Every structure is written in C-alpha cells, then in structure tokens.
Amino acid sequence: MGLDGRSLVTVDDLSNAEIEGLFSLADEMSNLMTEQSDVCRGKIMASLFFEPSTRTRLSFEAAMHRLGGRVITAVDIGATSLAKGESIADMARVVGSYADIIVIRHPWEGAAKVVADYAGVPVINAGDGGHEHPTQTLLDLYTLVKERGTIKGLKIGLWGDLKYGRTVHSLAYALARFGATILFHPAPGLEIPEHVARKLTREYKGELKKSDAMNHAAKQGLFAVDAIYVTPTSPHQLAMMPDISFEVELEKGVDALYITRAQKERATTTEGQASDKAYPVVDRRMLKGKEFRETLVMHPLPRVDELAYDMDSDRRSKYFKQAALGVPVRMALISLLLGSKTLDVRQDSETFIRKANYPRYDRGYGVRCGNEKCVTVNEGKYIKPEFEIVSSQPLTLRCIYCDHEVFPKYVASSEWHDGTIERKRYHSANSHWARRIKPENLIVFESESEAQCYGFKPSKYAGG
C-alpha cells in the first residue's frame, strides 16, 4: 500500500494505520540515516514559506537533502508574484511544473488545500493560518510513542493559546482518534474554538465535558482545566461518573503537557493584551506536584515566556527531542508521498479511520464562510465556497477549506416541494424543513432578502 501522489493538508488525510506505518519507516530511516541518500535522488521539493519559520522549514529541507533530493525555495510573499496579485491557484500550477512535491506555509486558512487542488503534485501543509499543522502533529505523536510506547489511554494536557494554535487543533484531533484523554488549560480568552470542540465530539465520538469540579481542583492545587475530552475507549468512563471523578483522575497524574505560546500574529489587539496579563507559565515550581512527577513536557517551539528556561535541564522536558524527530518523520512522509517508499499496514476497524463522509453544499451562493482569514474570502474570484452539511439540527455547514462553521437562517428546496413555481418557498432553518429537504436539493440563505432575490417567497414556516 502506498501514499504515492497523495497530499497531506489535514491530519485526517492519513488513517491511524498509515500514521503507524509512517512511524515504522521513520524508525528505519533514523537508524540508517546515512543510507537514505538515494531514496529521492533526482526529485525536487519546492519549499514555500510565506510566514516565518525555522524548525519546520529547515527540517523539511534537511529531510529532502538527506533523501538525496534537491530544494527550491521562496520565503517571502513580497518577493513573489503573489505580491503582484497572482492567485494561489496560478502559483500552484506553475510551481507544480517545476517541482515533484510542494511544502507550503501560508497565513490564509485553507491555502494549502487550494495548492493541493491545483498543483498536480503532492502537497504538504506546513501550517495554514490558525487552521492546522499536520506534520507537527506527526512528530508530536511520534515523540509520545517513543517515550510512552502508545497513545491510547494517555492523559494529555493542552496548555496556552488553544484558539489560534494550529498545532493544538491538529494534535487534538489526532489524540482523540488514537484514544487519549485531553485536558484543556487555555490562557484567558484563548479557549479551544467551538468548531474544533464540536468536531472532536461529532467525529471521534468522545465527550467534551466542563465541570465545576475543575474549579475546585484548581483551588486544591491540582491541574486546573477548562474542559476534558474523554475518549469513548476510556476504561474509566469519566463521562458517566460524578464530577468528583475528574479530581481523582487528575491526582493520578498527567502523562504529557503540551505547551504553546500566544499566537499574537493571529490574535486581535484586545486578545493579545488580555493574554499578556494572565498567560500561564510552566516552570519547575509549577510542576512540583505529584501529578506531574512523570509528565513529559512538550512544546512545538518557538517559546517566548510561557516555558521557563529552568525546564531545559529537567529530565521530563522533550521539546528539543521533538524538534530533532521532525527530520526522520518528514523524511518518511516525503518518501511515501513521492512513491519512493510504500507502507505495509493493517486495516482493521480500530486503526483504519478516515474522514467522515458528509454530504456537500456547493451551490456557490446562499452562504459564505464567515472566517475573514479563510482562503475563500481572500481568493473569492475563482474559489467557490463549499461546505459539508455536518448537522441538520441545528443546520450546520462546515467550510471544507478552514473548518469554520456557519448556521444558515433560511432553507429552501430545489424541487420546490410539488414542482410548481407557486410553491417556490423558503422556510426558517429552525423549522422541520431543514431536516426534511434532501441534501442534494438543499438551498440555504443568510437572509430573507437574499432568498427573495432568488425568487423565493416566505412560507408559513419562515418565522421559525
């Protein structure tokens, strides 16, 4: 089985089994690093980094060089034709004709998907705004496996900027898939986005629970958390227990603490000022509690003030090891996407997990993504908004580019119910019609005036 020709835009582009197979290949390459120089000989990787990067960019380029390939690079939008108004799609077509594989980092959420759609070669997302960073998640998971042997059953704390931290979003999805329990400790005002929280419960079938007992835990000196995602495979079944069980679980220890800096480049001025005042700091004093005795301390780097330097010599700290493991992980990924290596994976029900298959809404009108950083908003001349219909109660559409959700106010049917123009009616999205209309016939509108512009008249259900 191979990944030849595929792209990695989100962490869900790889099944659990494929991730495990990739880790096996990374082990093999890491043990025989000097013997990999012919794996991708003759291949060219385009390294397009339109946001600042040190570790990700250099580890990708080091990985390609160690595989025997070559690298061409662009690191500043101002020095490319994008600054002249060239579309991302046109850039992707051109660069795809120069290189065999593309690695891209871009400030717009969903930009990597656009490149993957148009380039004609495999594309790897090295971070698209505040959306995802799937290869960072691969090396994070790899670190956990190397240190703990498994991910299933671990309790992992996510700490800091959970709103804009793209590494956190990808990692949360992957941890849920592999059966970990997730403890959320956000900086004030930087909680996990609602659309990320809903995806965790909707896609991976666990339960996200908040509790007053968590505040009590903080008063007792335990690890204070905002919410806990409980995997459905948890042997403790926390979701079915009284709130006090959260305290019991926290007293048993935290397996790993994943710390992130404040993503000020994506936050509003108000959010940045708020986080400056009360951003949580991890140091040896904070980790002296018994629940942290064996806790791995992880960080995607760079750090600012949220992780004290006194942790560098602590045996629990693994963040520099994380960064080093990025090279063999990315070597394995590049070689698999280029078809230079193949995987031997088992595809049973536990390890073979793929994206949920939701019906699409792609009429190109009636609804737009409300995320101002989405690529569909910034490249709207040629990118048609497209959504997954992830729920009918309430009606919820999820942007296929950035994962943000929209909640249309009105619905109609392309069948017009009995096929006559007189029955061309629109209804409230809260009415029973939102559930009765087939997805392929669904039309949505953000306002009554928009529905009326398309020739629809209000039904008796338009009010709710």
- What's 22's domain CATH number? 3.40.50.1370
pLDDT per residue as tens digits for the range 248-279: 456 677 899 999 998 887 776 665 555 566 78
Axis crossing angle, helix 319-337 with helix 16-31, rounded to the nearest 10: 100
Residues 284 and 216 in one domain: yes
Residues 153 and 276 in one domain: yes
Write down the pLDDT at residue 276.
Answer: 63
Write down the pLDDT at residue 81.
Answer: 67
Residues 126 and 156 in one domain: no
- 348-387: b (≥16 Cβ within 10 Å) or e: eeebebeeeebeebeeeebbbbebebbbbbbbeeebebbb
Write down the pLDDT at residue 346.
Answer: 65
Q: Which of residues 274 and 447 earns the better pLDDT score?
A: 447
CA 60 to chain centroid, in Å, comes to 19
Residue 394 belongs to a domain: yes
Write down the pLDDT at residue 167.
Answer: 94
Residues 303 and 428 in one domain: no
Write down the pLDDT at residue 127.
Answer: 95
Share of the chain above pLDDT 70, in %: 85
Write down the pLDDT at residue 139.
Answer: 96
Average pLDDT on 332-355 reads 76
Please state, in angstroms and rounded to a whole number, the distance separating the CA atoms of residues 129 and 266: 8
Is-contact 250 217, C-beta < 8 A? Answer: yes
Strand pairing of 123-128 and 101-106? parallel
Residues 372 and 243 in one domain: no
pLDDT at 190 over 80: yes
Among 166, 76, 167, 69, smallest CA distance to 122 is for 69
Write down the pLDDT at residue 238.
Answer: 47
pLDDT at 235 over 80: no
Bridge partner list, 296:
256
Residue 309 belongs to a domain: yes
The neighbour count for residue 33, using CB atoms within 10 Å, is 12
Residues 308 and 272 in one domain: yes
Please state, in angstroms and rounded to a whole number, the distance separating the CA atoms of residues 124 and 46: 10
Write down the pLDDT at residue 240.
Answer: 46
Residue 350 belongs to a domain: no
Residues 114 and 152 in one domain: no
User: DSSP letter string over 305-333?
Assistant: SSB-GGGTTSTTB-HHHHHHHHHHHHHHH
End-of-domain residue from the set 304, 337, 370: 337
Residue 124 belongs to a domain: yes
Q: Which residue has the tokens 């077509």?
A: 93
The DSSP output letter for 291 is G
Average pLDDT on 386-395 reads 92
Q: How far is CA 217 from CA 208, 212, 214, 224, 419, in A?
A: 18, 9, 5, 6, 60
Residue 393 belongs to a domain: yes
CATH number of the domain encompassing residue 369: 2.30.30.20
Write down the pLDDT at residue 359.
Answer: 94
Q: How many domains does the chain have?
A: 3
Residue 352 belongs to a domain: no
Write down the pLDDT at residue 105.
Answer: 96
Contacts of 445 (CB under 8 A, 6+ apart): 366, 367, 408, 409, 410, 411, 412, 426, 451, 454, 456
Write down the pLDDT at residue 52.
Answer: 86
Residues 150 and 41 in one domain: no
Average pLDDT on 196-209 reads 87
Write down the pLDDT at residue 257.
Answer: 94
When pLDDT is cut at 50, 70 and 90, the band that residue 193 belongs to is very high
The DSSP output letter for 282 is B
Q: In what order do the strands lie in the sheet with 457-458?
A: 442-445, 410-413, 425-428, 457-458
Residues 19 and 102 in one domain: yes
Residue 2 belongs to a domain: no
Length of the chain measured in residues: 464
Write down the pLDDT at residue 355.
Answer: 61
Q: How far is CA 358 from CA 94, 204, 384, 387, in A?
A: 32, 14, 18, 9
Residues 308 and 250 in one domain: yes
Write down the pLDDT at residue 380.
Answer: 86
Strand, coil or helix: 105 = strand
End-of-domain residue from the set 337, 369, 387: 337
Average pLDDT on 297-302 reads 93
When pLDDT is cut at 50, 70 and 90, the band that residue 378 belongs to is very high
pLDDT at 357 over 50: yes
Range name among 30-44, 80-94, 393-407 with the lowest pLDDT average? 80-94
Share of the chain above pLDDT 90, in %: 63
pLDDT per residue as tens digits for the range 391-443: 988 999 999 999 999 999 999 998 875 556 677 899 999 998 888 899 999 99
Average pLDDT on 192-197 reads 92
pLDDT at 220 over 80: no
The neighbour count for residue 99, using CB atoms within 10 Å, is 21
Residues 278 and 139 in one domain: yes
pLDDT per residue as tens digits for the range 150-164: 999 999 999 999 999
pLDDT at 242 over 70: no
Write down the pLDDT at residue 75.
Answer: 81
End-of-domain residue from the set 295, 321, 347: 321
* Domain limits for position 67: 11-132+323-337
Residue 118 belongs to a domain: yes
Write down the pLDDT at residue 457.
Answer: 92
Residues 252 and 299 in one domain: yes
